[in-house]
Structure 1
Amino acid sequence: MNITLCTLFERNYHFGVAALANSLIAAGYTGELWVGYRGALPGWIVDSPAFDRVTGRLQAAPGLVLCMLELDTPLHFTYYKPTFIREMLEKHAPQSDVVAYIDPDIVVKCDWPALTGWFTEDGISLAEDVNWCFPARHPKRLLWARFFEPHGATPRRGLDRYYNAGFIAVSRAHLEFLDLWRRLCDLVVAYNEHAKELKAGGSAALFHSTDQDALNFALTVCEAPLNTAGPEAMDFAPGGYYLSHAVGSVKPWHGGHIRQALRGMPPSAASKWYYHFANAPIKAYSDGELAKRQLSLKIAAAIGRVYKRA
């Protein structure tokens, strides 16, 4: 089975791309990581002697090549995921049986052979979200069904779990699912008046988690087999060993760990895993800057052991 990996970033999320790539190298993955981007590329890419400006390829390690793709879309990247995955399957990696999209605020904790057990040629691979319990007849699901019905999208199955859109692997057999997800995203964008943010309105809003809500409704409309793991697979619950996902607007590379800890918010497991992979073999920081950040993280973790918001 041929598996291709991809991600999307803009602005300072390049720090996350570096950590993701380093985690894949540590996991033993060999192949390409396709990186769609908007804006300027960071110095750790363009100043690397291994970067080919003509092809946009960076030989990050003997077994891993980063393939940079400049994108021209007005959409928030969270809505662009289904289009990007489909472009991988049809244009950039036509040899692939499965394309896995991974957000740049995720790192891989397990070895590559363990992760490949998640992928199949007949299914869609997903992990449950922070708030994963979402019954099939939850009030919001009923409202979604009423909203999408006039647009020809009717649920064919009930699901009791809510899945995170930061990691999704889609096999070539389910290209139509990507079209469905993209179409539902377009409807959500229109409903939210061309939303520019990841979240829209409060938790009670019809579409608060935007593309992720569209994804979860699309999963009830299609009948593809779902290869799923629980919330622990992204470190949203204890006991996971696959991925670590730094959710929220404040990312590990934003720093301020001590300040956050003094507010009762100590470093998350995902922040700790981020720094585990932040700077080797790809170096996104100077050694001095990384040492300062790691010291800040340790102090913040110590504060968190004695003071935590209730």
Structure 2
Amino acid sequence: MKISLCTLFEGNYHFGVAALSNSLVTAGFSGVLWAGYRGALPAWLTESPAYDAATAIYQVSPGFQLRMVLLDTPMHFTYYKPTFLREVFEKHAPDTDLVAYIDPDIVVKCDWPSFCGWFTDDALSLAEDVNWAFPSRHPKRLLWNAFFTEHGISSIRPSERYYNAGFIGVPRQHLDFLVLWERLCHLVLGYNQGVKHLKAGGSATLFHSTDQDALNFALTAHEATLNTAGPDAMDFIAGGYYLSHAIGSPKPWNTPHVRKALGGQSPSVATKAYFEHVEGPIRIFSDAELKRHRLALRVASAIGRVYQRR
């Protein structure tokens, strides 16, 4: 099975793309990570002799390429995920069998042979969210079904789980799922009046988690088999070994580690995992910057061992 990967980024999320790329090299992945972006490209890429500006290809390792794709869309990238996945299938990698999207604040923790066992040609690959329990007759699910039914889309199967949209693997056989998810994202975008942020309103808002809510309804309106892992697969609970997802903000590359620890929040597992993948082959920080980050992490971790906010 030929597998292609993709991600989306803008602004300082390039720090995450670099660490994700490094983690894929460590895992042993061979292939392409298609990176859709908006704005200027970072210096670590444009100034590297491994980057070819004419082809927009960064040869990260002998078997792994990071390919940049400039995007022209006004919408928040969180709504653009199914569109970009579909574009990878149809335009950028038409010979691929499966495309997996990975958020740029995620790193891969395990070896690639173990990871790609998640992928099959007949199923979508997913991981449960930090708030994973979401009963099939939950009030919000009932409201979703009423909303989408008015637009000609109805749930055809129950779901008791809520999945994170930071990672999804889609085989070519289920390309139509991306068309469905994309349509739902546009409906949610219209409902949220073109919101420019990752979240809309408060937790009780009908579509608070935007593309993720659209994804979770799409999973009930499509017949595809699901290959799923629990919240541990993204380090949302202890015991995970597949991915580490630095949800929320600030992101690891922006976090004032000591100040947060003094406020009762010690460095997260995902923050520590991020800094395990910043030295190479893509160098994100200077030696001095990396030394400062690691010293701050050690101090913050020490504070966290004696002080936690209750």
Q: TM-score range by the shorter chain?
A: over 0.9
Residue of structure 2 equivalent to 1:159: 159
DSSP-derived class of the 2:236 partner? coil
Q: Partner letter of residue 256 of structure 2?
A: G
The 5 Å alignment of 1:128-277 reads: 128-277=128-277
Aligned to 1:44: 44
Residue 116 in 1 paired to residue 116 in 2? yes
Distance 1:259 1:298 in 2: 13
Residue number in structure 1 paired with 2:283: 283
The letter of the residue matching 2:160 is D
Q: Who is 1:295 aligned against?
A: 295
Counterparts of 2:134 and 2:255, CA distance in 1: 33
Could you tell me which residue of structure 1 aligns to residue 68 of structure 2? Answer: 68
Corresponding residue for 1:53? 53
Mapped to 1, the partners of 2:303 and 2:183 lie a distance apart of 46
Partner of residue 10, structure 1: 10
Please give the TM-score of this superposition, normalised by the length of structure 1. 0.99
Cα deviation, 1:117-154, whole Å, max 9, x if unaligned, reads 00011110000000000001111100100111110110
Task: Report the CA distance between 1:189 and its aligned residue.
Answer: 0.8
Distance 1:293 1:164 in 2: 28
CA positional deviation for 1:268: 0.5
Residue 64 of structure 1 deviates from its aligned partner by: 1.0
- Percent identity between matched residues is 66
CA distance in 1, matches of 2:7, 2:279: 19
CA distance in structure 1 between the aligned counterparts of 2:216 and 2:255, rounded to whole angstroms: 32
Cα distance in 1 for partners of 2:14, 2:239 equals 28
Between the aligned partners of 2:282 and 2:167, the Cα distance in structure 1 is 22
Alpha-carbon separation, structure 1, partners of 2:156 and 2:184: 16
Opposite residue 169 of structure 1, the aligned amino acid is G
The DSSP-based 3-state class of the residue aligned with 1:248 is coil
Shift of 1:265: 1.1
Displacement, 1:61? 1.2
C-alpha distance in 1 between matches for 2:150 and 2:72: 31
Name stretches of at least 5 consecutive residues in structure 1 with no aligned partner: none
User: Number of matched residues?
Assistant: 310
CA distance in 1, matches of 2:51, 2:58: 4
> Distance in 1 between the 2:291 and 2:151 partners?
53
Offset at 1:249?
A: 2.2
Cα deviations across residues 29-61 of structure 1 (Å, max 9, x unaligned)?
111111111000000000001111110001111
SS in 2 for 1:91: helix
Runs of 4 or more, structure 1, over 3 Å off, are none
Calculate the aligned-residue CA RMSD, in Å. Answer: 0.6
Contact 1:189-1:195 within 8 A present in 2 as well: yes
40-49 or 259-268: which moved more?
A: 259-268
Q: Deviations over 1:260-297 (max 9, x none)?
A: 11111111000000000012111011011011001101
Tell me the distance in 2 between the aligned counterparts of 1:228 and 1:42. Answer: 34
Q: Secondary structure in 2 aligned to 1:254? A: coil
Q: Distance in 2 between matches of 1:30 and 1:175?
A: 23
1:255 Cα shift? 2.6
Question: Aligned pair 1:82/2:105, yes or no?
Answer: no
Q: Which runs of 5+ in 2 are unaligned?
A: none
Secondary structure, aligned partner of 1:80: helix
